[in-house]
Amino acid sequence: MDKQLYMVSLGPGDSELITIKALKALQNSDAICIPTKSPDHSFKKSLTHKIVSKLMEEHDFSKPIIPVYTPMHFKKEDWQYQVDILYKGFEEHTILSFVTLGDSAVYSTVYYLLDIIKAQQPELYCRSEVIAGVTSFSQASAKVKKPLCVGDSRFEIVPLLDKEVPCTTIYMRPKIGMDTELIKEQGELYTFENMNYNGENITSYKKSRVERYMTLFIDFFK
Ligand SMILES: C[S@@+](CC[C@H](N)C(=O)[O-])C[C@H]1O[C@@H](n2cnc3c(N)ncnc32)[C@H](O)[C@@H]1O
């Protein structure tokens, strides 16, 4: 059987806020790779390990756990080390999950690892799947019953760093028939139409005209 790698978003810490798809990926895996900041590879302080243990208990399944030491130094060699642990895991297992808190799209290690895998093992990269999850800020909004944006408002995610950083912009709620000329591409612009519905269409460019209400554009940072 071909190797399969799931990058599983666990949600913001409540085991009930994991998606069914993410749960199924964990249940379908031969082993689960869990990041730990402890150099002794223990999970004493690991929030991810707590969530996965609770899920295994609540949903009555058990999988071998592979610790992935994650020192958070943001160095290429650390990510390579983590990828090497995944490669080693594949020597014994066919299906692996790597887990991350919240949603993998937001400040997660997942894409550092996938970039390396894409360059070194393109077949494994093609067979990898990223499973979306609930972000910490969606949960925060729900906790206090305050929207992040509604009507004519918008919201921003600002990393608390002492420097200018590139930006991803999401364009939503277009009018059908609208010309997209006013959307100026800064990075890499994609069009997503009818995602997960009939006629799903994802293009790695900006469509010149909006054909469906269920259209969003993402200008990914470069
Ligand atoms: C590395 S980012 C990961 C974000 C995550 N992928 C997400 O979707 O929310 C970690 C930051 O997210 C925020 N965060 C994540 N989980 C949180 C929680 N349970 N409570 C408050 N803030 C949280 C904090 O700002 C924290 O510094």
- Tell me the pTM: 0.95
Q: What is the DSSP string of 151-194?
A: TT---------SS-----EEE--PPTT-BGGG---SSEEEEEES
Which ligand 1 atom sits closest to the C-alpha of 137? Answer: 9
Name the residue with the closest Cα to ligand 1, atom 26.
Answer: 136
Q: Which band of pLDDT confidence, cut at 50, 70 and 90, is reported for residue 45?
A: confident
Backbone angles phi, psi at 92, to 5 degrees: -110, -25
The set of protein residues with a Cβ atom below 6 angstroms from ligand 1 is 12-13, 101-103, 106-108, 135-136
Please report, as a single letter, which amino acid is at residue 215.
T
Q: 52 C-alpha vs ligand 1 centroid, how far in Å?
A: 17
Atom of ligand 1 nearest to the CA of 100: 6
State residue 1's pLDDT score.
82
Atom index in ligand 1 nearest the CA of residue 47 equals 19
Mutate to test the pocket of ligand 1, among 14, 50, 101 (most ligand atoms within 8 A of CB): 101
Give the per-residue pLDDT at 74: 80
Distance CA 34, CA 55 (A): 13
Mean pLDDT of the region 122-142: 98
- CATH code of 4-136, in short, is 3.40.1010.10
- CA 72 – ligand 1 centroid, Å: 14
pLDDT per residue over 152-167, tens digit each? Answer: 999 999 999 999 999 9
- Convert the pLDDT of each residue in 168-215 to its tens digit: 999 999 999 999 999 999 999 999 999 999 999 999 999 999 999 999
- Give the pLDDT confidence score for residue 52 in this predicted structure: 98
**Cα(102) to centroid(ligand 1), Å:** 7
How many Cα atoms occupy the beta-carbon half-sphere of 90 within 13 Å? 18
Apex CA 58: angle with CA 134 and CA 3, to 5°?
65
Ligand 1 atom closest to the CA of 104, numbered from 1? 6
Q: Is the pLDDT of residue 36 over 90?
A: yes
Residue nearest (by alpha carbon) to ligand 1 atom 17: 136
Using the structure block, give the residue that is written with the tokens 């393109």: 122
Domain residue ranges of the chain, discontinuous segments joined by +: 4-136, 169-220
- Give Cβ neighbours of residue 199 (< 8 Å, ≥ 6 apart): 193, 212
Q: Is the Cβ–Cβ distance between 125 and 117 less than 8 Å? A: yes
Atom 19 in ligand 1: residue holding the nearest Cα: 12
Question: Hey, which of 136, 141, 157, 168 would you mutate to test ligand 1's pocket, going by the most ligand atoms within 8 Å of its Cβ?
Answer: 136
Residue nearest to atom 1 of ligand 1 (CA): 107
Q: With beta carbons less than 8 A apart as the criterion, state whether 134 and 101 touch.
A: no
* CA dihedral sign, ordered 30, 36, 40, 43: negative
Name the closest-CA residue to atom 23, ligand 1.
Answer: 136
> What string of DSSP letters covers the chain?
---EEEEEE-BSS-GGGS-HHHHHHHHH-SEEEEEE--TT---TT-HHHHHHHHHHHHTT----EEEEE------HHHHHHHHHHHHHHHHH-SEEEEEESB-TTTT-THHHHHHHHHHH-HHHHHTEEEE----HHHHHHHHHT--S--TT---------SS-----EEE--PPTT-BGGG---SSEEEEEESTTSTT-EEESS--SB---SSEEEEEE--
